[in-house]
Structure 1
Amino acid sequence: MKLTIITPDKPIFDGEVTSVTVPGSAGSFEVLENHAPIVSTLEDGKVIIRTGKSEEIISIIGGVVEVIHNNVTVLAEGIVER
């Protein structure tokens, strides 16, 4: 499954993942391969990216997520730099 995370300033992540958890407005939810198509608003929170055995966390400032045909696109308003 392909994940793309972008902000108005720059691309943040673009690659293959096994799953991603996003901070949906109605609560966090996980997206796995072959997930049903969905569009959801996002709250401030953590995007948890899993690729095989590794995990990466990116803190975002709101946004929107779209899932369609094993492509997950997160349009974040911004990220919290570490």
Structure 2
Amino acid sequence: MIILFNGFAVFTKGNWSVNDFITAYIGIPIYFALFLFWKIFKRTSFVKPAEADIWTGKAAVDAEVWPDQLPRNFMERVWFWIA
């Protein structure tokens, strides 16, 4: 949604600018070009969601113990609360 409405102001009356349009929407063709390049270069295929293996290695990740980090200052305390 953000990508599509990023350059919305370009389409309002009197604000059309080719430079602003290209700046706002150049990311879309770049994304698809890189995606297609990767699919062709690596010869990867699409996987149906029902056939995707999302459980292999999950037990090892769940068994991982992360040490508790103590905040060193007020900003870290806020960040740890958010994250």
TM-score, length-normalised on structure 2?
A: 0.14
Which one scores higher on RCO, CA 8 angstroms, separation ≥ 6?
A: 1
**Greater Rg by CA:** 2
* Higher helix fraction (1 or 2): 2
* Higher strand fraction (1 or 2): 1
TM-score, length-normalised on structure 1?
A: 0.14
